[in-house]
Amino acid sequence: MTLKRPLPHAPSRLPAGAATPPAPAGQRAFTLLEMLLGLAVFAVVLVVVHGIFYGALQLRNKSAASFDNSLPLQQTIAQLKRDLAGLTPPGGLLTGSLQTTPTNTAATELTHPGTPVSPAFYTTSGALNEFTPWSEIRKVTYYLVVPTNFVPGRQLVRSVTRNLLPVLTEEYEDQVLLENVEDLTFEFHDGTQWQTTWDSTSSTNGLPTGIRAALTLVNPQTGVPDAVPIEIVVPILTQGAATTASGGQP
């Protein structure tokens, strides 16, 4: 018996105009519409993520700027409180009088470029160390100086004299505490009411029972002074001041 090889199956040809049969399951590709829809969804997600991160970054920058701007003010207030709380009784070996209108103009005021806004405070706010021979008592005067960088307001400068011994030329060191300052004023409490002037050399005055400082700032953007100043009230310990100043027995 002779076996005949089957003839190869001829590919079927679709008549002209007939639709292409669908691809088998698992081999179907994305259509252009689906790809555009996916890209649109991805773009929306990116925009949302960008908005969240941008908002967080802006909040972080504002918080950092607010902290940087408030830090010098907080340091200035703390320094003012230390200087006022450490006032020494007048008449001591290294201390002078507390006078808003001094009878003798200090050498510092003659050579300092700023405008004095405080009397000379003799205070124990200094720190002792092994590198300098000075005591903890300092003479501190606050000045307002016109800035050289053309910013609104003036600079608050703390001028410190460490050597309180008699010298021919008084040496002082300036420390710029704060910028954008309009004014700094002091009032002194006599036990009954606030006074704008004080003279510890008079027979009725020694140290005040308290000192109130009013610090007025200037808006750095508009250059307009603040309507309400920052007030700092520091009580002064006056008990035993006369005994200490006169060298009495403890």
Span 65-92, pLDDT tens digits: 777 778 999 999 999 999 999 999 887 7
Using left for φ > 0, alpha for ψ between -120 and 50, and beta otherwise, residue 184 falls in beta
Position 216, amino acid: T
Long-range contacts: 69-72, Cβ < 8 Å, 24+? Answer: 72/177, 72/178, 72/179
Query: What b-and-e string marks burial along 3-22, b requiring 16 or more CB atoms within 10 Å of the CB?
Result: eeeeeeeeeeeeeeeeeeee
Instruction: Taking residues 135-144, report their average pLDDT.
Output: 92
Instruction: Taking residues 193-199, report their average pLDDT.
Output: 93
pLDDT at 245: 42
The angle at the Cα of 97, spanning 237 to 198, to the nearest 5 degrees, equals 75
Q: Any bridge partners for residue 232, and if so which?
A: 213
- Whole-number Å distance between alpha carbons of 165 and 170: 9
- Whole-number Å distance between alpha carbons of 124 and 51: 54
Please, what is the average pLDDT of the chain?
82
What pTM value is reported for the model? 0.70
Best-predicted range by mean pLDDT among 67-76, 125-134, 215-224?
215-224
Per 3-state DSSP, what percentage of the chain is helix, strand, and coil (rounded to 5)?
A: 25, 25, 50
Q: Is the pLDDT of residue 54 over 50?
A: yes
pLDDT at 109: 59
- Whole-number Å distance between alpha carbons of 143 and 110: 13
Q: Where are the domains of the chain?
A: 65-246
